[in-house]
Structure 1
Amino acid sequence: MFLNQDKFSALIVRWHKAIKLLKQHSSKTFTFLFAVSLSLSLIISACSPNNSVIYASLPSFSIGKDPEKVVRIGHQKFGSLSLLRAKGDLEEKFKSMGLSVRWNQFPAGPQLLEALNAGQLDFGHAGETPPISAQAAGAPLLYVASSPPNPKGEAILVPKDSQIRNIADLKGKKIALNKGSNVHYLVVQALAKANLKYSDIQTVFIPPDDARAAFEQKKVDAWAIWDPYFAAAEQATGARILTDATNIVENREFLFASQTFAKKHPDRLKVVLEEIKKVDEWAKPRPKEVAQILSPLIGIDAGVLEQVAKRRAYGLELITKEVVAYQQRLADTFYRLKLVPKKIDVSQVAMVSDQKPN
């Protein structure tokens, strides 16, 4: 049995909403529902072509814990939040405040922000493109900080023996990418720089793990992908970099809070940002140690992760007017190409500051 990742995400969100509603009725109902949910988890895991990724992104809940005392954080494979989870520093900080942390891992930013939109997360991170689609869909997100630009952290790859030598050669070719992810904008802008239209290529929208399989089997001609999947493909397949994002797009990682969480718990939000800043400062000079810590958590070889850690941009920056303007250009481009259904104003969902954090 096989289900598409997007269908899985939608199924999981609906399932969790049902749990939340039925949980309110009676303890007997909840006990029964817990048994059903466990069975459903096993069924979903069996159906998935990549069990670990799907299961890791399942919304979880904690029996007997006051929901008001739980901070729900989503993360992807790699990044400051993954490292913060692996080190356990945030749990220690929140423990002193009488709080606990619930982590959920997602395969990409669009799926993570879908969960935030469904009310299942308080905080998370994604690249520069996912929040545009999420805001257009009405997600109550709030930009609270970002990393510096990291153009070396994403690329368009081709097989090592491919006859494709430059972006112009992609005309009429199939390019795999995760729809609405950060590399979606890379593809759009790289084509424009080569005087090609977005309609000049065939986009194949599949999540990273499925895209890797399609790329290796040469069912697609190129693959737009980000780290750590990018580095893993380089090392395992000898894939050739057609272009990275240098001089094309910035490739920032953004940190988001739900608007409710930011308004209701600014003290908790401050703690999360402070701990992210600390873990970034710790990680920057320690790529080998970062890789060793993260490898068992996210299931990627430490050698791959060390390469990612070395080329990653570290640091925490507040949202400036310049960053908002960049995101607005992205949003306007996607609206013009009909990749989002309506115009949006990024400034309406951004905590803007002209100063960087101390």
Structure 2
Amino acid sequence: MTAHHTKLSRRTLLQAAAAIGTASLVSRPAFAQAQTSLVLGDQAGGLRALFEASRTLEGVPFAWRWANFQGAAPLFEAHRSGAVDTAMAGDLPVLAAAVGKTPLKIVATRVGKPESLGIVVQGDSKIRTVADLRGQTVIVSSARGSISQYQLYGALEEAGVKREELTIKFVLPTDAAAAFASKQIEAWAIFDPYYTIATQQGGRILRDGRGINTALGFITASEAALADPAKRTAIVQFLDRLARAGDWAIANPEAYAQAYTQLTRLPIESSRIITARSTVAGRPVSEADIVALQNVADRSARDGILPVRVDVRAITDAELWRRPA
């Protein structure tokens, strides 16, 4: 590949990252005259791509619009203010939002793959192992209480490295993506799609999430929306369609990747990687999910990621949705 093509590819990836990280990109409601309307919070266009590819929101008896954010921190700011009715995020960001007094309930579980996030370093970096991070600066995206922070802390504990032995800074994903591409960042703890973008730009994986992260994501709904009978019904219908969308994506991986590319502008090679390990399958919250998330909550309180322990059962509504047979 020529130098020109390498630069063009990098520019294309960065443009895609910027597009993915649009602070608030909202589509038109499905039915302008419908009385009930949901604002569906999304991260990096992932949920919207799934639904647009599967077309499973077509014909629902409620209006909807998407609100897209580059990471969980700004998404849950919107959730806290009542600007979105539902949100989708990984385990730790949901707990962090609960600590921040976001009035929410966990209403569904999404299952992904732990290799969809990790710690990346520059391809020519002298950092070869997690132990080599001693004395280095590691950038974490998107903010305190992210799945990437949990990943980093778990990797450091595994390697016997104290957090005080390195410098940890928090930068939102799109800003960090640009800095990593220009080699201003040497080590970055990040999640997909930015994780894949970094490796496509020549980044080297130092440690992925396998054995550390649960790979569980959760759909949350605002308490205000759940208190509204019409919105509550619409949320259940949305979750029914979420399950169908996941089934479709698993059965049609190439069509899902193509739709993801169309929405995010990422190269198809990147989209295939991202969609293959994304949190696709949706299911009701199980007792095992509650136990797994409580373990994350307890470890995060122990490690100082969260200032207090969160009672997961208290922020979960496991009775709202039961997937139709």
| TM-score after normalising by structure 2 | 0.84
Identify the residue that residue 256 of structure 2 maps to in structure 1.
290
Identify the residue that residue 37 of structure 2 maps to in structure 1.
70
Q: Which has the larger radius of gyration?
A: 1
**Could you tell me how far apart the structure 1 residues matched to 2:182 and 2:209 are?**
25
**Could you tell me how far apart the structure 1 residues matched to 2:44 and 2:252 are?**
18
Question: Is the Cα–Cα contact under 8 Å of residues 75 and 82 in structure 1 kept in the other structure?
Answer: no
1:89 aligns with 2:53: no
- 1:317 Cα deviation from its structure 2 partner: 2.4
1:160 aligns with 2:123: yes
Structure 1: tracts of 5 or more residues without a match: 1-49
Aligned-pair identity in percent equals 29
Q: Select the residue among 110, 128, 152 that pairs with 2:91.
A: 128
**Could you tell me how far apart the structure 2 residues matched to 1:216 and 1:332 are?**
35
**Could you tell me how far apart the structure 2 residues matched to 1:196 and 1:68 are?**
55
**Could you tell me how far apart the structure 1 residues matched to 2:34 and 2:243 are?**
26
| TM-score after normalising by structure 1 | 0.76
- 1:61 Cα deviation from its structure 2 partner: 9.3
CA deviation string 1:222-261 (max 9, x = no partner): 11111111112212x2211111111122122211111222
Query: What one-letter code is carried by the residue in structure 2 that aligns with 1:202?
Result: T
Which structure: greater helix fraction?
A: 1
**Could you tell me how far apart the structure 1 residues matched to 2:36 and 2:232 are?**
14
Moved more, 116-125 or 204-213: 204-213
1:323 aligns with 2:289: yes
Larger RCO: 1 or 2 (CA < 8 Å, sep 6+): 2
Identify the residue that residue 310 of structure 2 maps to in structure 1.
344
Query: What one-letter code is carried by the residue in structure 1 that aligns with 2:308?
Result: K
**Could you tell me how far apart the structure 2 residues matched to 1:133 and 1:67 are?**
34
- 1:182 Cα deviation from its structure 2 partner: 1.4
- 1:82 Cα deviation from its structure 2 partner: 2.9
Question: Is the Cα–Cα contact under 8 Å of residues 20 and 44 in structure 2 kept in the other structure?
Answer: no
1:247 aligns with 2:211: yes
Query: What one-letter code is carried by the residue in structure 1 that aligns with 2:222?
Result: S
**Could you tell me how far apart the structure 1 residues matched to 2:315 and 2:38 are?**
21
Query: What one-letter code is carried by the residue in structure 2 that aligns with 1:266?
Result: R
Query: What one-letter code is carried by the residue in structure 1 that aligns with 2:85?
Result: D
Question: Is the Cα–Cα contact under 8 Å of residues 80 and 280 in structure 1 kept in the other structure?
Answer: no
**Could you tell me how far apart the structure 2 residues matched to 1:76 and 1:173 are?**
29
CA deviation string 1:195-233 (max 9, x = no partner): 122232211211112112222333332111111111122
Question: Is the Cα–Cα contact under 8 Å of residues 109 and 218 in structure 2 kept in the other structure?
Answer: yes
**Could you tell me how far apart the structure 2 residues matched to 1:254 and 1:316 are?**
9
- 1:55 Cα deviation from its structure 2 partner: 4.8
Moved more, 194-203 or 276-285: 194-203
Q: Size of the alignment, in residue pairs?
A: 302
Which structure: greater strand fraction?
A: 2
CA deviation string 1:67-116 (max 9, x = no partner): 952111011125344321455531x332xx2x311111110112111111
Moved more, 292-301 or 121-130: 292-301
Question: Is the Cα–Cα contact under 8 Å of residues 112 and 277 in structure 2 kept in the other structure?
Answer: no
- After TM superposition, the structure 1 = structure 2 runs for residues 205-216 of structure 1, keeping only pairs within 5 Å, are 205-216=170-181
Query: What one-letter code is carried by the residue in structure 1 that aligns with 2:198?
Result: A
Q: Select the residue among 310, 328, 340 that pairs with 2:276.
A: 310
